[in-house]
Amino acid sequence: METKTNQFLGTEPVGKLMRQYAVPCIISLLVGALYNIVDQIFIANADYLGSYGNAANTVVFPLTVIALACAVMIGDGCCAFVSLSLGKKEVSNARKSVGNAVTMILISSVLLCGIYLLFVKPILTMFGGTVNEETFQYSREYFFWISLGIPFYMFGQAVNPIIRADGSPRFAMISTLLGAVLNIFLDPIFIFLFRWGMKGAAIATVAGQIVTALLAVWYLLHMKLARPSKEDLRIHRQIAGKTLLLGITSFLSQISLVAAMAAVNNMIRKYGALDAIFGQEQYAQIPMAVVGIVMKFFQIVISIVVGMAAGCIPIAGYNMGAGYRHRVKDLFTKLLLAETGVGVLALLIVECFPGQLIVLFGAANESVHYTDFALKAFRIYLCLIPLACVNKACFIFLQAMGKAMASTLLSMVREFVFGVGLALLLPLFSGLNGVLYSMPASDLLTFLIALFLIKRTYEELQGAVSRPIS
């Protein structure tokens, strides 16, 4: 009876399924992204925090992404494994994957929380927190409270894709939405009314994460298709390994942002100190604050892109498991077209309306140097964002098809070889501008490789290639 519930994934029109699954997933990821973005907007518009608080938020941001990377590796991997298993009518394996995912996320979240609390200073230093004393103090305060919420944050984010795989994308969306709404409600109260500063922003965020985590626990106890038993919580090495392998692309797509931000933040600190303007103490935090804002806009776009692709994971996984390759091909085509459209729209916004974007982040309270650098950063850093969107879609769809190796290799090349390498190399020739050009250069080089894999994927789905891509 349980396996019949998911059979519509192999019979309903692909476009309808894509809308049904992708829209809630997009909203869930957008809402998740809003936690940090909303914090930064309120922080930037608080006159007693300003660009120092903005820079501090930028320093801590990649550290929250590390937690997210671990969570989505387990959650997205479980989502893909469950979808493939249900397509093959292997319900027992689906349940074991969910149980193993719960155990892995509990263990990893507590360990990461402990590491963060024990090594605050070296971690913040690694991510550019010592650009000046004010930025470091604000970073330390914000990071402490955010670290306390890591187990709740990771649990909610990991279970979210599992809920989607269980056939409840709307519940996944609502659980995340309620947490984010609470954060938005509490932020102005804690920051402006109570004047708790960075602590207030962090506590508001953690409160929202606790709500999402509690709803995730409730759902796990009421799953429709793959509710785990106590026995399923015991780690099964083969299933846990396959789950993590299927989720490694999601991990790399997030952790790459951490590696790139670490490289970018340190290059900004190094070459900003050599700049005639930003080498001055009162302006030293501006480049880091600005690049953080640009990355937040990019995060919004990528949340849409990843949401569309991740929403297709249960559909692609089920149809691959059931052998309906023509439906997978149709889904892939629709996804690539949609992702390209999102990228083009985002490009028009950053090239035509960067001034309006930076106003949201307190530009009115800052110097002209802040505004000038922000305009340049938006237009250069994101000038090839359509290619970034297609690249992300390719990564995740290959993962959904079970092509973990091809997906992982492409992600590693983009994020570590190009993303980090060019962020370290180009500033040697162009200073701060080199940091900005590292992003489009990485996306262009990755796109050239992605085109080859896209072609191979179509050939395999058409039956022209007998051997698998990975």
DSSP string, 421-467: HHHHHTHHHHTHHHHHHHHHHHHHHHHHHHHHHHHHHHHHHTT---S
Mean pLDDT of 430-451: 93
Question: Which is nearest to 139 in space by CA: 39, 3, 67?
Answer: 39
pLDDT band at 467 (very low <50, low <70, confident <90, very high): very low
The Cα–Cα gap between 289 and 50 comes to: 10
**pLDDT tens-digit series, residues 70-125:** 998 999 899 889 988 887 888 899 999 999 999 999 999 999 999 999 999 999 99
Answer whether residue 46 is part of any domain: yes
**pLDDT tens-digit series, residues 265-319:** 889 888 888 888 888 888 888 888 888 888 888 888 988 998 898 888 888 888 8
Mean pLDDT computed over every residue of the chain: 87
Q: Which residue has the higher pLDDT, 12 or 104?
A: 104
Answer whether residue 36 is part of any domain: yes
Answer whether residue 3 is part of any domain: no
The Cα–Cα gap between 468 and 248 comes to: 19
Q: Quick one: tokens of 373? A: 């650098």
Q: Quick one: tokens of 396? A: 């995740």
User: Which residues constitute the domain of residue 180?
Assistant: 12-461
Residues 6+ apart with CB under 8 A from 97: 78, 81, 82, 85, 226, 239, 242, 243
Answer whether residue 326 is part of any domain: yes
Q: Which residue has the higher pLDDT, 28 or 237?
A: 237
Answer whether residue 414 is part of any domain: yes
**pLDDT tens-digit series, residues 128-147:** 888 888 889 999 999 999 99
Whether the pLDDT of residue 464 is over 70: the answer is no
The Cα–Cα gap between 19 and 252 comes to: 26
The confidence score (pLDDT) of residue 24 equals 79
The confidence score (pLDDT) of residue 415 equals 77
The Cα–Cα gap between 27 and 17 comes to: 16
Count of Cβ atoms closer than 10 Å to residue 140 Cβ: 17
The Cα–Cα gap between 443 and 414 comes to: 7
Quick one: what percent of the chain has pLDDT higher than 70? Answer: 96
The confidence score (pLDDT) of residue 365 equals 66
The Cα–Cα gap between 176 and 212 comes to: 5
In the chain, the number of structural domains is: 1
Answer whether residue 33 is part of any domain: yes
Answer whether residue 49 is part of any domain: yes
Beta strand segments in 198-336, E: none
Q: How far, in Å, are 42, 123, 265, 367, 456 from residue 206 at the CA level?
A: 16, 20, 25, 32, 44
The confidence score (pLDDT) of residue 6 equals 67
Question: Which is nearest to 411 in space by CA: 281, 290, 255?
Answer: 255
CB 57 within 8 A of CB 242: no
Q: Among positive and negative, which fits the CA dihedral 91, 92, 97, 103?
A: positive
Answer whether residue 106 is part of any domain: yes
Whether the pLDDT of residue 167 is over 90: the answer is no
Whether the pLDDT of residue 366 is over 80: the answer is no
The confidence score (pLDDT) of residue 466 equals 38
Residues 6+ apart with CB under 8 A from 4: none
Q: Which residue has the higher pLDDT, 29 or 417?
A: 417
The confidence score (pLDDT) of residue 469 equals 42
Mean pLDDT of 404-420: 81
Quick one: what percent of the chain has pLDDT higher than 90? Answer: 45
**pLDDT tens-digit series, residues 251-275:** 876 777 777 778 888 898 888 888 8
